Amino acid sequence: MHALISSRPVLSLVRTLALGAGLGLTALTGCDRGSSPSNAGAGKTASSGTPAPAPAATVGDIVIGHYGSLTGAEATFGLSTDNGIKLAVEEINAAGGVTIAGKSHKLVLKSEDTEGKPEKAGTVVTKLITADKVAAVIGEVASSVTLAGAPVAQQFGVPMITPSSTNPQCTAVGDMIFRVCFIDPFQGFACAKFAASDLKAKKAAILFDQAAAYSVGLKDEFEKNFKQMGGEIVAVEAYTKGEANFNPLLTKIREKGAELLFIPGYYTDVANIALQARKLGMKMPLLGGDGWDSSDLAKNGGAAIEGSFYSNHYASDQPTPEIQAFVTKYKAKFGETPDGLAALGYDAARVLADSMQRAGSTDGSKLRDAIATTKDFKGVTGTISINDKRDAVKPAVIVEMKGGKPVFRARVEP
Amino acid sequence: MTTGRRFCSDSRNGHTLRVDTLLQTLKDGLTIGSLYALIALGYTMVYGILKFINFAHSDIVVLGAWLSLVIATAIVKALGLEAGQTAPWWVGPFVLLCAMLVCGLIGFTIERLAYKPLRKAPKLNVLITAIGVSLFLQNTGQLQFVFGTRPQPIPSLLSDQVLFAIGNMQVRLLDLVVIGTAFVLMIALEWLVFHTKLGRAMRAVSFDVRTAGLMGIPVDRVISITFVIGSSLAAAGGFLWALSFTSIKQPADTSWVLLGLKAFVAAVVGGIGNVRGAMFGGLAIGMLEVFGQQYINPALKDVYVFAALIVVLLVKPGGILGKATVEKV
């Protein structure tokens, strides 16, 4: 034992670190096959001679992975996205699948649960890539989780598209990471612009989640833009996800006379904040970002959330044919109105399939180049063009909560 | 918005101490503190008797909150009330009673199945079993056919009317009910422990299990009763929590873990094993947290609680009321 350790100290160290980091044996296996990482996702399309086909997929199928919060506090995020991707995969397969080199291949979706926890993301992405041998990964919604999953996809050379993480850092992880949504600097700008020019607010207060990358980023951008537009930020207070008692924070804000309260958090906390703010007699409109987008917001917030606004990727009541066709299909399959995350999941899967077709391959680097050159793709959430930072450039919509439903209010162009 | 009355302004700092804000903070501290105290009692009672930390205790709180939600929703549906309509007065007490009964029963079962077989095993085994029970409850709770993973709102059980207001500080029926129920339960427990035969038996078992047994005290039954009482107090804590914060998060949410941890800190700060210590610790931790949040820096609210724990452990390791009283339960 002693001899073994002294002869392979590095391996031993790697093993200890990998286990310590909670990645377990999968990470170690990953290191071992790291010499040709891009093969990880490429193998299964070559229908002959590949020794290791994906478990549940028949030969010739292309496996794509999705990691998301299928359970956990923000479960509707992951479930909506998963439904959106499922709908897209079903449609693509019904239309003959993805054609590569004259042969058509069916898409197979593998979904893994992160429980919305960053520490789970590394493990499940490693599993999708090494065990399920996915050609590409879609996920996550929450930026903090995406930031934990992206380095794994990058390391294995498997392209990844995050449907809805808006923090700028996400795609900066590496050249394999893309997104089909706008980024927080733009979302912050959109919220500030709406607050200043549409609501004509002069004084705003901010209540943000100091533990979420998304919330901190959006807060900074809103603050900067709102000040530039001549507004005043009268109070900035921080909470941590899972907080139950917002009374002390809200009491502080109440004294400052804000006309608007900006809450760049997730819907689970926003419902509680709204309820407690109204109980404290605060009647100003609340404004937030796409983290509010869930049917559970109105369910938990009730009357407290009425008349509040948030920026989003699309509004289901916009009368464009693309959106209405998508809403009808989604409702027929899942029995509920799709939220923005479902729409983005749908778009992400379709952009991916489109890129595979254009690349004529599922090889990591070829697929990456194809995703990077996506231009004017007609998505449900707007026309998608990927820029040199691997981000999508598209407009935002502002929706208003009316009768428990988000209703289209304004559109902000980039 | 009305401007509240201003008293004693401190011009040097530019801060104005507003009386209504101070009262509001006091009220919040009292609410949170009495909930911490109710939950801390369960930790302290089990520790007093069995000398181990029941990590599954906070999950009984969660169970209590969710049971209240499920029962209240069922009743409201059966009565045919519209969303937002307040239920009749008897629904609240009925839901509380049901939740306490069911949780008491579950606490009893957990003790019988998980802890009793380990009565003679090393303490560490029991501790790890408790963590196992906690994980089991959390993960069972978030199954789709149990409570699910989505946050749910509890129906309105009390009128939302403001009883009276001082400046910006409003007192509602809800505030009085939460604080009142918590105190009534704590006084009842105090009476039970110090003024009944059962309480004397509990104190005796806590003092020395073997000798108590030799004296003819049915040790196993006393331990079971302790678990039932601790678990029903946890259920009451969960019920009051649900009333105060309306939207209930899924059983495995981190906020529950933090709630349990703080109640545990309250028990330790007050002196673990000491019933009065747990009540005092709960109120002290609640006040500290809310006042720190209001007057120092809200972002550090958890820091105040755990810093207090460190200070108490350094200065008085037995807890504030720990060594002073001989009686332990």
Q: Encode pLDDT of B284-325 as tens digits.
A: 999 999 999 888 888 888 899 999 999 999 998 888 887 544
pLDDT score, position A280: 87
Domain shared by A82 and A162, yes or no: yes
Domain shared by A173 and A57, yes or no: yes
Q: Which residue of A has its CA nearest to B170?
A: A280
Say whether pLDDT at A293 is over 60: yes
Q: Give the closest residue to A367 by CA, choosing from A152, A183, A138, A140.
A: A138
Distance from CA of A250 to the nearest CA of B (A): 10
Domain contains A89: yes
Q: Which residues of B are less than 8 Å from A272 in CB distance?
A: 245-247
Q: How is domain B19-266 classified at the CATH fold level?
A: ABC transporter involved in vitamin B12 uptake, BtuC (1.10.3470)
Distance from CA of B83 to the nearest CA of A (A): 9
Domain shared by A51 and A173, yes or no: yes
Share of chain A above pLDDT 90, in %: 64
Domain contains A243: yes
- How far apart, in whole angstroms, are the C-alpha atoms of residue B318 and residue B268? 8
Domain contains A98: yes
Distance from CA of A73 to the nearest CA of B (A): 6
Domain contains A412: no
Domain shared by A380 and A343, yes or no: yes
B143 at A interface, C-beta within 8 A: no
Contacts of A32 (CB under 8 A, 6+ apart): none
Q: Which residue of A has its CA nearest to B301?
A: A239
Which of A236, A254, A255 is most worth mutating to test chain B (most B CB atoms within 10 A of its CB)?
A255
Domain contains A237: yes
Domain shared by A13 and A74, yes or no: no
Beta strands in A240-308 (DSSP E): 260-262, 286-288
Closest partner residue to B28 among A239, A248, A303, by Cβ? A248
Contact B247 A275 (CB under 8 A): yes
Q: Which residue of B has its CA nearest to A238?
A: B299
Say whether pLDDT at A363 is over 60: yes
Q: Residue A54 in contact with residue A99, Cβ under 8 Å?
A: no
Q: Give the closest residue to A342 by CA, choosing from A84, A164, A116, A33.
A: A84
A272 at B interface, C-beta within 8 A: yes
In CATH, what number is assigned to the domain containing residue A328?
Answer: 3.40.50.2300
Say whether pLDDT at A64 is over 70: yes
Closest partner residue to A249 among B24, B298, B302, by Cβ? B298
Domain contains A403: no
pLDDT confidence bin for A241, thresholds 50/70/90:
confident
Contact A302 B253 (CB under 8 A): no
**Stretch A4-16: mean pLDDT, rounded?**
41
Contact A248 B32 (CB under 8 A): no
How is chain B split into domains, by residue range? Answer: 19-266
Question: Residue A113: enclosing H or E segment and its boundaries?
Answer: strand A107-113
Render pLDDT for A162-214 as a digit per residue (tens, 0 to 9).
Answer: 999 998 999 999 999 999 999 999 999 999 999 999 999 999 999 999 988 88
pLDDT < 50 positions in chain B: 1-14, 324-327
Contact B28 A247 (CB under 8 A): yes
Q: Which residues of A are less than 8 Å from B247 in CB distance?
A: 268, 271-272, 275, 300-301
Domain shared by A235 and A282, yes or no: yes
A373 at B interface, C-beta within 8 A: no
Domain shared by A56 and A176, yes or no: yes
Q: Give the closest residue to B278 by CA, choosing from B287, B286, B268, B288.
A: B268
How does DSSP classify residue B26? H
pLDDT confidence bin for A19, thresholds 50/70/90:
very low
A296 at B interface, C-beta within 8 A: yes
- How far apart, in whole angstroms, are the C-alpha atoms of residue A94 and residue B133? 47
pLDDT score, position B205: 93
- How far apart, in whole angstroms, are the C-alpha atoms of residue B312 and residue B328? 19
Say whether pLDDT at A76 is over 90: no
How far is the CA of B3 from the CAs of A236, B6, B14, B18, B164, in angstroms? 21, 9, 17, 10, 16
Q: In what order do the strands lie in the sheet with A177-179?
A: A107-113, A62-68, A136-138, A160-162, A177-179
Render pLDDT for A20-41 as a digit per residue (tens, 0 to 9).
Answer: 444 333 333 333 333 334 444 3
Domain assignment of residue A192, given as a range: 184-312
pTM score: 0.77
Arithmetic mean of pLDDT over chain A: 85
What is this model's ipTM? 0.76
pLDDT score, position B12: 38
Q: Which of residues 54-73 of A touch B (CB under 8 A)?
A: 71-73
The single residue listed with the structure tokens 């001549």 is A230
Distance from CA of B277 to the nearest CA of A (A): 24
Distance from CA of A302 to the nearest CA of B (A): 8
pLDDT score, position A59: 62
Q: What is the largest CA-CA distance in chain A?
A: 74
Q: Give the closest residue to B248 by CA, choosing from B72, B12, B2.
A: B72
CA angle A297, A300, A305 (to 5 degrees): 60
Q: Which residues of A are less than 8 Å from B260 in CB distance?
A: none
Sign for the pseudo-dihedral over CA of A197, A198, A202, A208:
negative
Render pLDDT for A114-125 as a digit per residue (tens, 0 to 9).
Answer: 988 999 999 999
Q: Could you give the 3-state DSSP secondary structure of residue B260?
A: helix
Domain shared by A237 and A153, yes or no: no
Helix ranges (H only) for B151-217 are 173-195, 197-207, 209-214
Q: Could you give the 3-state DSSP secondary structure of residue B315?
A: helix
pLDDT score, position B16: 62
B18 at A interface, C-beta within 8 A: yes
Q: State phi, psi for A145 to the nearest 5 degrees.
A: -75, -40
Contact A279 B172 (CB under 8 A): yes
Q: Residue B71 in contact with residue B95, Cβ under 8 Å?
A: yes
Domain count, chain A: 3
How does DSSP classify residue A194? I
A257 at B interface, C-beta within 8 A: yes
Q: Could you give the 3-state DSSP secondary structure of residue A99?
A: strand
Interface A-B: count of C-beta contacts within 8 A = 105
Is residue B322 exposed (0-12), middle (13-18) or buried (19+ Cβ within 10 Å)? buried
- How far apart, in whole angstroms, are the C-alpha atoms of residue A293 and residue A181? 14
pLDDT score, position A1: 38
A251 at B interface, C-beta within 8 A: yes
